[in-house]
């Protein structure tokens, strides 16, 4: 038992994240030694391709990973021109001839370490090595298969572009560049993950971004000591503020390049991850959950109407079950007479108390939602139909659950889908509010709501208050929060995120 407690303490004790540093090993002058090293390193993997050739008595080799390069370009653009050229002189002169006289590709990089060789060939490069030369050439001829650009499934808009991010990072960079034709849009790449060696890219406007936010983000990324980075969820905990215990995240995620471009012009930084079809956005504020691209495509009055609906739907999805349970248990006189008779009749006809009944229905709904999400699509439809018929009708007729309670849970479920990015916190919070309302009544719901409100107001994202511009209040920025002003008003002044009231952007060292 004591060992178990010590193990738990060791697991959950906060330890500083030390930056990952990779040892750099220079290549050998012997071509055969370099080839042997790579074969041993990859344990003679069949996809490691080494094409050995001779250039006027000098041994050479073209190294690549099968199916990671375009074979036509490899054969016709690299190997064939090298065979047709007449080489003479030292290995260094032959390497310069290949670089400056033979190859016509635009991405040619000099490398001189084994770690660079591994990184390049695993990224779709072909490496040219000569015996007796201390440097090699990495030629970018990526040709791996990828999904075509299509409309994102989780972030659909009625008007606007139908393009969404795809898995190759370079394609995503081009979609951002095509929308912001400005030389101040900068891309900065780095590698994270000491096993996966995942390439990520920071995207920002140099004249709009805050240098302190940018430096703070780079420092946190350098301290990420993960083995693999396979999706955005791997990085998000490392980008949150220290000691941040909140259901809501200060890091945004989007699948739409046009949405990301809009955030970048406001001074934010986007992080593209190779192999992931979404981008991470920092800093991210609470009010941005309620903003979509359709808000800026529609007229201002309709965008304001839909935004008000989103705020109402968010509070209903969290509070309605808790308020219903608290009032029906402790303050039934708050209901109209006819409604009270229906609720009292359903409670007396069911075996469970109202609180347990509401929580049970919520858990069953979450199970059905998870089953429909994970099952193949045809079976997912069947699960939803069976769940609606069995749980919705049969359970009521059998007297296991009450119709008013089922109606309340159904309304909260519908409202929770109005803002998909807030589904996870609202799903957990409504169970907490239900427990608080069933045990302590309406005062328990009010107390938990105050705790949640204090938690959100005390949160910040890279030094920017999470609830800005509502609190601290900014009249100029409120034109695009609850009420969306027209474009003639929005275009008068550019509001950068680091200039919002209450922003206290410090360096990472000063925080420590």
- Predicted pLDDT at 510: 52
- Predicted pLDDT at 186: 94
Dmax over CA atoms of the chain, in Å, equals 101
Q: Which of 288, 285, 319 is nearest to 155 (CA)?
A: 288
CB within 8 Å of 431: residues ≥ 6 apart:
359, 362
- Residues of the chain short of pLDDT 50, as ranges, are none
- Predicted pLDDT at 381: 64
E strand segments, 207-358: 252-254, 269-273, 279-282
Q: How far apart are CA 117 and CA 138, in angstroms?
A: 8
- Predicted pLDDT at 85: 87
- Predicted pLDDT at 313: 95
CA 498 vs CA 57, 159, 457: distances in Å: 62, 30, 17
Give domain limits for the chain. 31-140, 169-294, 300-457
Q: How far apart are CA 432 and CA 362, in angstroms?
A: 12
Contacts of 291-297 with C-beta under 8 Å, sequence gap 24+, read 291/480, 292/155, 292/157, 293/157, 293/159, 293/160, 293/256, 293/258, 293/259, 293/262, 294/157, 294/158, 294/159, 294/160, 295/484, 296/484, 296/487, 297/157, 297/158, 297/159, 297/160
Other beta carbons less than 10 A from residue 388's beta carbon? 12
Handedness of CA 125, 130, 131, 132 (dihedral sign): negative
Per-residue pLDDT tens digits for 5-44: 655 555 555 555 555 555 678 888 899 999 999 888 888 8
Q: Hey, what are 507's tokens?
A: 């360096």
- Predicted pLDDT at 306: 92
CA 326 vs CA 329, 333, 341, 348, 410: distances in Å: 5, 12, 17, 17, 18
- Predicted pLDDT at 159: 80
Q: How far apart are CA 123 and CA 142, in angstroms?
A: 7
Q: Hey, what are 3's tokens?
A: 């060992």
Q: Which of 77, 78, 76, 81 is nearest to 63 (CA)?
A: 78
């Amino acid at each position: 038992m004591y060992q178990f407690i010590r193990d738990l303490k060791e697991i959950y004790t906060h330890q500083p994240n030390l930056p990952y540093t990779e040892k750099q090993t220079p290549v050998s002058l012997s071509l055969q030694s370099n080839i042997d090293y790579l074969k041993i390193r990859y344990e003679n993997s069949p996809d490691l391709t080494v094409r050995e050739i001779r250039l006027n008595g000098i041994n050479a080799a073209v190294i690549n990973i099968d199916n990671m390069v375009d074979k036509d370009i490899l054969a016709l653009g690299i190997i064939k021109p090298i065979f047709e050229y007449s080489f003479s002189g030292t290995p260094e002169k032959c390497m310069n001839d290949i670089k400056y006289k033979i190859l016509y590709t635009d991405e040619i990089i000099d490398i001189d370490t084994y770690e660079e060789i591994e990184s390049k060939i695993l990224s779709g490069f072909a490496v040219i090595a000569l015996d007796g030369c201390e440097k090699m050439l990495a030629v970018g001829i990526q040709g791996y298969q990828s999904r075509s650009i299509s409309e994102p499934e989780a972030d659909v808009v009625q008007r606007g572009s139908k393009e969404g991010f795809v898995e190759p990072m370079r394609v995503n960079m081009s979609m951002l560049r095509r929308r912001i034709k400005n030389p101040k849009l900068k891309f900065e790449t780095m590698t994270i993950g000491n096993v996966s060696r995942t390439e990520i890219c920071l995207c920002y406007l140099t004249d709009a971004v805050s240098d302190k936010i940018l430096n703070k983000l780079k420092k946190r990324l350098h301290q990420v000591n993960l083995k693999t980075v396979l999706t955005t969820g791997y990085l998000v905990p490392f980008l949150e503020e220290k000691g941040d215990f909140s259901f809501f995240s200060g890091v945004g995620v989007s699948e739409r390049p046009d949405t990301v471009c809009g955030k970048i012009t406001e001074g934010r930084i986007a992080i593209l991850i190779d192999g992931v079809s979404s981008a991470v956005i920092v800093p991210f504020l609470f009010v941005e959950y309620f903003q979509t691209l359709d808000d800026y495509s529609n007229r201002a009055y309709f965008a304001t109407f839909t935004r008000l609906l989103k705020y109402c739907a968010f509070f209903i999805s969290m509070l309605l079950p808790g308020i219903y349970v608290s009032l029906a248990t402790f303050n039934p006189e708050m209901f109209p007479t006819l409604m009270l008779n229906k609720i009292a009749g359903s409670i007396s006809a069911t075996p469970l108390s109202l609180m347990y009944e509401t929580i049970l229905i919520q858990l069953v709904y979450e199970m059905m939602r998870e089953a429909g999400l994970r099952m193949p699509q045809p079976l997912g439809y069947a699960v939803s139909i069976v769940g609606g018929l069995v749980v919705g009708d049969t359970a009521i007729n059998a007297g296991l659950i009450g119709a008013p309670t089922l109606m309340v849970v159904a309304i909260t479920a519908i409202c929770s889908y109005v803002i998909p990015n807030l589904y996870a916190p609202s799903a957990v919070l409504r169970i907490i509010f239900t427990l608080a309302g069933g045990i302590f009544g309406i005062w328990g719901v009010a107390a938990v709501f105050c705790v949640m409100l204090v938690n959100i107001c005390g949160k910040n994202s890279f030094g920017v208050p999470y609830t800005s511009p509502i609190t601290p209040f900014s009249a100029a920025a409120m034109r695009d929060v609850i009420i969306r002003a027209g474009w003639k008003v929005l275009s008068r002044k550019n509001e950068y995120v680091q200039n919002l009231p209450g922003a206290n952007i410090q360096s990472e060292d000063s925080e420590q």
